Structure 1
Amino acid sequence: MLSHIARWWPLPALLVWATAWGVFALAGHLGLGALVGLLLACALGVAGSLLADSWWRRLMVGLGFPLSLALSGAASLSAWHWLLPLALLLLIYPLNAWRDAPLFPTPRKGLQGLDTRVPLPPGARVLEAGCGLGDGLLALRVVYPCAHLYGLEWSWPLRAVCALRCPWARVRQGNIWRADWGPYQMVYLFQRPESMDRAVAKAAAELQPGAWMVSLEFPATDLVPDAVLQDRSRPVWAYQVPFQRRSTPGSSARSPSKPR
């Protein structure tokens, strides 16, 4: 779906902006006032930004209406009212979430074949760290239908949407870097390259021997993968604890597992 939206860019942004203007005009026609109209239109813009495929397009979609309204002078609003669109964006995309992975969705078939390379026993506990709207959980369910799936998401609104889309998974709100990864046989990530070192350190410290860390698209550059799926637009990298680290002078091939 996102690939089709990206293909027609900027038409999706124009449609969201036009619809937001329609909602704002309708609110005025119904006598709801400019502030209510601003809130409704901005909420629509932020919801539409969830479908964009990059952070700068999400900003364009989400902030397009309030910026155009401010420049047009079509409404007389107090200065603090213009902070509402930014507050809505921060509610959906908290700052720490932007630093990790600002709503990168996993393709529905992006993990196909992972079950053959990384088999899991029935009932295995699989966590998606940073589950967003639930696309990763949907992809995991395709390849691990007998697993117990869990999702962890910092944003309350995204967590709520994910829970609605994935009622068969246990989705909760929380910080992926503070949560304990120890109870899971697999932790799945679709993060930024810059956060992979942090993910490796956390997985090495908390995951049980034999458990897996799986990353979509971005590899852990200091580790040798135990399984790789590269016959697709976004490769999948799988690493089993204890991790096999790339050889450096004076270091061993595998990192020792932590004492149990």
Structure 2
Amino acid sequence: MRIERGVIVSLNLAQIIRKKNQLSNLIRWPMTALGVWGAAWYVFIFLVDQGMHSSVAMLFSTFVGVSAAAMGWHRGMSQARTAALAMGFPVSFWLMGTATLPAWVWLLPLVLIVWIYPMRAWRDAPVFPTPLNALRDVPRYAILPAQAKILDAGCGAGDGLKALRLAYVNAQWIGIEFSRPLSWLAKFRCPWAEVRCGDIWQDHWGAYDMVYLFQRPETMPRAVEKAKAEMKPGAWLVSL
């Protein structure tokens, strides 16, 4: 969308949206959950057979589920299914009566997920990594000057910044991410970009030539209104 004398011109990225849907459809349920839970139990039994204490083996096995949940979430899996993957093994372990740790220990994986992706961020957008080549055609529609300032609003782990750098090689890339752990990861993956932890809604967009973001349909109107109120004429608001 381009901000031009108060008029917004839509930029059609339907092909990229279809790619997102295809990516989400790759996740099959419930076979995914059964496979992850089975793998966690296999790791637990194997480690106990090797002489490891059951409490330590439980933590390693729980990490299997948490890792799978993080990968699923990264690919657009729903919050409910992500929680099911992460909590499936510890809950079944507890229900079988073999647990020897306090009940609060089972909440640790969930606490880890919430720390990485705060509840406040859930209302804005799901975790969806921008495909590397998703924005390569955008310069055909949105022509920017040299050293243009491009903001990735909600940059996550830096995938959007990488895609923006590929599309606009002669620009300044800025990323804002509400999750502190993800902002650290984005800084590590994109040392050429200016990445900071912050709130995209509190940041003023007036200095940017382009703002790229990925939002839920119910929060996009807020982004459009913010762009109309703050962005300068000729600037671009781009979204998948």
Where on the TM-score scale, by shorter chain, does this alignment land: which range?
A: 0.7 to 0.9
Aligned pairs, number: 215
3-state secondary structure, aligned to 1:202: helix
- Residue in structure 2 matched with residue 47 of structure 1 by the alignment: 67
Percent identity for Structure 1 against Structure 2 = 47
The aligned residue for residue 26 of structure 2 is 7
SS across alignment from 1:150: strand
Query: Structure 1 pair 176/42, CA: closer, same or farther in 2 (3 Å)?
Result: farther
Does the 8 A contact of 1:138 with 1:166 survive in 2? yes
Residues 153, 200 of structure 2: 8 Å contact kept:
yes
198, 208, 228: which is aligned to 2:232?
Answer: 208
> 1:113 and 1:191 mapped to 2: Cα distance?
20
Q: Please give the per-residue CA displacement for 1:54-84, whole angstroms capped at 9, x wherever unaligned.
A: 2243223222222232223332221222221
The alignment partner of 2:151 has SS state of: strand
Q: Deviation of residue 189 (structure 1)?
A: 0.9
Displacement after TM superposition at 1:107 (Å):
1.9
Check whether the contact 2:40–2:89 (CA below 8 A) recurs between aligned residues.
Answer: yes
C-alpha separation in 1, matches of 2:96 and 2:143? 58
User: 2:86: which partner in 1?
Assistant: 62
Q: RCO (CA 8 Å, sep 6+): is it higher in 1 or 2?
A: 2
* Structure 2 counterpart of 1:86: 110
> What is the alpha-carbon distance in structure 1 between the residues aligned to residue 52 and residue 217 of structure 2?
49
Residue 139 of structure 1, CA deviation: 1.5
Q: Does structure 1 conserve the Cα–Cα contact (< 8 Å) formed by 2:152 and 2:212? A: yes
SS of structure 2 residue aligned to 1:152: strand
Q: CA deviation at 1:15?
A: 5.0
Tell me the residue number matched to 2:149. Answer: 125
Q: CA RMSD in A?
A: 2.7
**Residue 4 of structure 1, CA deviation:** 6.8
Distance (Å, rounded) in 2 between the aligned partners of 1:204 and 1:69: 53
User: Where in structure 2 are the equivalents of 1:198-237 lying within 5 Å?
Assistant: 198-216=222-240
Residues 95-244 of structure 1 correspond to what in structure 2 (within 5 A)? 95-216=119-240
Q: TM-score, normalised by structure 2?
A: 0.76
* Conserved 8 A contact 2:153-2:175: yes
Q: 1:22 to 1:131 in 2, by over 3 A?
A: farther
Runs of at least 5 residues in structure 1 that lack an aligned partner in the other structure:
217-260
TM-score, normalising length: structure 1 = 0.71
Contact 2:27 2:77 in 1 (8 A): no
Structure with greater helix percent? 2
**Secondary structure class of the residue paired with 2:237:** strand
Equivalences for residues 27-46 of structure 1 within 5 A? 34=55, 37-46=57-66
Structure 2 CA distance for aligned equivalents of residues 54 and 214 of structure 1: 23
User: Paired residue for 1:242?
Assistant: none
